[in-house]
Amino acid sequence: MSVLIIGSTALDSIRTPHSENPRLLGGSASHAAVAASFFTPVRLVGVVGDDFPKRYMNLYQRHGIDLAGLQILPGKTFHWSGEYELNMDNRRTLLTELGVFETFTPTLPKTHQSSPYVLLANIAPSLQSHVLDQMRRPKFVVADTMDLWLNIALHDVLALLKRVDAFVLNESEAHQLTERYNMLHAAREIHKLGPRYVIIKKGHNGAMLSGPSGVFLAPAYPLDCVVDPTGAGDSFVGGMMGYLAATGGPVEKKIRRATIYGSVVASFCCEGFGLTRITRVKRRDIDRRVRELERLVRW
Amino acid sequence: MSVLIIGSTALDSIRTPHSENPRLLGGSASHAAVAASFFTPVRLVGVVGDDFPKRYMNLYQRHGIDLAGLQILPGKTFHWSGEYELNMDNRRTLLTELGVFETFTPTLPKTHQSSPYVLLANIAPSLQSHVLDQMRRPKFVVADTMDLWLNIALHDVLALLKRVDAFVLNESEAHQLTERYNMLHAAREIHKLGPRYVIIKKGHNGAMLSGPSGVFLAPAYPLDCVVDPTGAGDSFVGGMMGYLAATGGPVEKKIRRATIYGSVVASFCCEGFGLTRITRVKRRDIDRRVRELERLVRW
């Protein structure tokens, strides 16, 4: 089954101690859509400006991503610029130019309104809710977020949480939202806010899934070389949703394996700048790395 | 088979945001010995002063720990005092009184010299080497360390590394020793210094084992309530060595499961101040938690 993905579609300029990479294809929806596309058809909802490079349109299309929901507006594409420190964990934002994003209102084509799987990738929570308003009884809705929205739009985040099946956030965001240091406690608090599933991302330490049948500790695939972690979290949730949508059936039976697939797709994302590495990956590479990860945690 | 454990035997005064606990039984060897005692007979080598409480001698004895190698000298027992922040990760040392430890030279009773399994728990690396000098062809030697020794006795650490089968340290120590942020790279560098096995502890994120047949990612048992993490690393390596010594046979076949047992024993350690929780644990509690951990990581 297809998955609908709404989020940011951006140009990312990424600086690391070793290199500078201007105007890569980025944004939460781009990363999540490419990640999901390995498993299932994807419908992308977003906005770009009329400066958006044709080659990136081609990239989406090569991944079979349905662009009927991608608005192209006069003006500039959202541009983000950031810099990583040597440890590749600490990141600082150098620049944010919203461009056409400033006035973006996602409007779903009629065909998209009955998508069974919905991924509300990182974007303002009011826009995530606005998309949900247009959906007809989706089967499974996942929302991602970032610290910015917890800071400036907490009320909107809380309203959204009542309407989603799963919520994805990282450790520091979980602490920020719940004031709990212990991630079991944080997950419990977030469940009370609505979602049946809570997924707390821990970067290279994997992720913790909390759901109706308890906790699952998902490992991260250990990487020999992290080139650029930008979009790893989006790839994780995109891969997870793609896998869930592809396999269908009861979510509870698939979600553990789905987080493993998400984790592995995210590992490929980190091995190149922007989407450069992941767009050269084949489904069989992902399956191979999942099997390898199985061996890395078996005792 | 029995395991010989040399390390510090101390009184720990531990302060957390919620409580103050003076003069608990502590020290790397105490934690490691109690942890190992669930699996196999333990021979403790250390030193205490004549102020060492009788009840702590009884505690060792209740765990069947052979004290023939424990020196009791006139003077004060090593006393350490530390304070944890609310997140229970950040710790600062308030006080260190070496007491009889200052002039300690471990001398092994003849019976101890042929112990097949040797755990050099955290103590000055020159003393760890001095113990090895007295051993007759041990089967498997593991050394633990701390940042202090990397700072003030690096030469001794490097000399020791050439003589041990396995080296245990935490992430920040691995970075300090190798200047690598990536723990796969750090492990590789440490292998070059001598040990066949490198175990990098990551606190509540588990541990990474690197050995002849590759990498193993050991999860940590997720705790609902961390009361006092002091000694968790010592319990981890103690439990691991106890399990290895108990099962015997080729280390390579057992070491993954051994790190899981270590991880679970460490989880019990964290649930009470000092040794208060772990000394109330039975072997069946450990086995139950290992089975639970298996379920937490299965997909």
Query: What is the per-residue pLDDT across B124-139, written as a single tens digit (0 to 9) for each?
Result: 999 999 999 999 999 9
**Of A53, A54, A63, which Cα lies nearest the Cα of A29?**
A63
Sheet containing A140-144: give its strands across. A65-73, A42-49, A3-6, A117-120, A140-144, A166-170, A197-201, A207-211, A214-218
A24 touches chain B (CB under 8 A): no
Q: Which residue of B has its CA nearest to A182?
A: B224
Average of per-residue pLDDT across A27-50: 98
B69: helix, coil or strand?
strand
Domains of chain B, by residue range, sit at 3-297
Q: Give the pLDDT confidence score for residue A182 in this predicted structure.
A: 95
Query: What is the per-residue pLDDT across A126-156, written as a single tens digit (0 to 9) for each?
Result: 999 999 999 999 999 999 999 999 999 999 9
Q: Which residue of B has its CA nearest to A89?
A: B181
Average of per-residue pLDDT across B165-180: 97
How many whole angstroms separate alpha carbon A182 and alpha carbon B86? 11
Average of per-residue pLDDT across B82-97: 88
Q: Give the pLDDT confidence score for residue A204 in this predicted structure.
A: 95
For all residues of chain A together, what is the average pLDDT? 96
**Assessment of whether the complete model's pTM goes beyond 0.90:** yes
Percent of chain B with pLDDT over 90: 96
Q: Give the pLDDT confidence score for residue B207 in this predicted structure.
A: 98
* Residue numbers in A near B224 (CB within 8 A): 182, 184-185
User: In a 10 Å sphere around its CB, with 0-12 CB exposed, 13-18 middle and 19+ buried, how is residue A296 labelled?
Assistant: middle
How many whole angstroms separate alpha carbon B9 and alpha carbon B28? 7
Give residue B227's pLDDT band: very low, low, confident or very high (50, 70, 90): very high
3-state helix, strand, coil split of chain B in percent (to 5) is 40, 25, 30
pLDDT at B89 over 80: no
Percent of chain A with pLDDT over 90: 96
* Residue numbers in B near A217 (CB within 8 A): 219, 222, 296-297
Q: Which residue of B has its CA nearest to A187?
A: B224
Query: What is the per-residue pLDDT across A210-223, written as a single tens digit (0 to 9) for each?
Result: 999 999 999 999 99
pLDDT at B106 over 80: yes
Q: Give the pLDDT confidence score for residue A244 in this predicted structure.
A: 98
How distant is the Cα of A66 from the closest Cα of chain B, in angstroms?
31
* Residue numbers in A near B297 (CB within 8 A): 216-217, 219, 297
Q: Give the pLDDT confidence score for residue A89 in this predicted structure.
A: 74
- Give the CB-side neighbour count of residue A230, counting CA atoms within 13 A: 30
How many whole angstroms separate alpha carbon A123 and alpha carbon A160? 12
Q: Give the pLDDT confidence score for residue B216 in this predicted structure.
A: 98
Average of per-residue pLDDT across B103-113: 95
Q: Which two tokens stand for residue B211?
A: 């050995």
Q: Give the pLDDT confidence score for residue A90 in this predicted structure.
A: 82
Query: What is the per-residue pLDDT across B255-294, written as a single tens digit (0 to 9) for each?
Result: 999 999 999 999 999 999 999 999 999 999 999 999 999 9
For all residues of chain B together, what is the average pLDDT? 96
Best residue in B217, B240, B254 to probe A by mutation, most A CBs within 10 Å?
B217
* Residue numbers in A near B206 (CB within 8 A): 205
Q: Give the pLDDT confidence score for residue B271 in this predicted structure.
A: 97
- DSSP assignment of B205-274 equals G-EEEEETTEEEEEPPPPPS--S--TTHHHHHHHHHHHHHHHH-S-HHHHHHHHHHHHHHHHHHHHTSST
Query: Is this complex scored with an ipTM above 0.90?
Result: yes
B224 touches chain A (CB under 8 A): yes
Query: What is the per-residue pLDDT across A163-212, written as a single tens digit (0 to 9) for each?
Result: 999 999 999 999 999 999 999 999 999 999 999 999 999 999 999 999 99
Percent of chain A with pLDDT over 70: 100
Q: Give the pLDDT confidence score for residue A87 in this predicted structure.
A: 78
Distance of CA B158 to the CA centre of its chain: 19
Contact B149, B176 (CB under 8 A): no
Query: What is the per-residue pLDDT across A94-111, written as a single tens digit (0 to 9) for each?
Result: 999 999 999 999 999 999
Q: Give the pLDDT confidence score for residue B221 in this predicted structure.
A: 98
- The DSSP symbol for B185 reads H
Query: What is the per-residue pLDDT across A63-102, written as a single tens digit (0 to 9) for each?
Result: 999 999 999 999 999 999 999 988 777 889 999 999 999 9
In whole angstroms, how large is the CA radius of gyration of chain B? 18
pLDDT at B88 over 80: no
Query: What is the per-residue pLDDT across A47-64, written as a single tens digit (0 to 9) for each?
Result: 999 999 999 999 999 999
pLDDT at B41 over 90: yes
- DSSP assignment of chain A equals --EEEE---EEEEEE-SS-EEEEEEESHHHHHHHHHHTTS-EEEEEEEETT--HHHHHHHHHTTEEEEEEEEESSPPPEEEEEE-TTSS-EEEEEEE-GGGGG------GGGGG-SEEEE-SS-HHHHHHHHHT-SS-SEEEEE--HHHHHH-HHHHHHHHTT-SEEEEEHHHHHHHH--SSHHHHHHHHHHTS-SEEEEE-GGG-EEEEETTEEEEEPPPPPS--S--TTHHHHHHHHHHHHHHHH-S-HHHHHHHHHHHHHHHHHHHHTSSTTTTGGG--HHHHHHHHHHHHHHH--
Average of per-residue pLDDT across B220-242: 97
Specify the fold of A3-297: UDP-N-acetylmuramoyl-L-alanine:D-glutamate ligase (3.40.1190)
Q: Indicate the residue type of A42.
A: V
* Residue numbers in A near B289 (CB within 8 A): none
Average of per-residue pLDDT across B15-28: 93
Query: What is the per-residue pLDDT across B45-71, written as a single tens digit (0 to 9) for each?
Result: 999 999 999 999 999 999 999 999 999
B135: helix, coil or strand?
coil
Q: Give the pLDDT confidence score for residue A159 in this predicted structure.
A: 98
B288's CB contacts (< 8 A; 6+ apart) are none
pLDDT at B203 over 80: yes
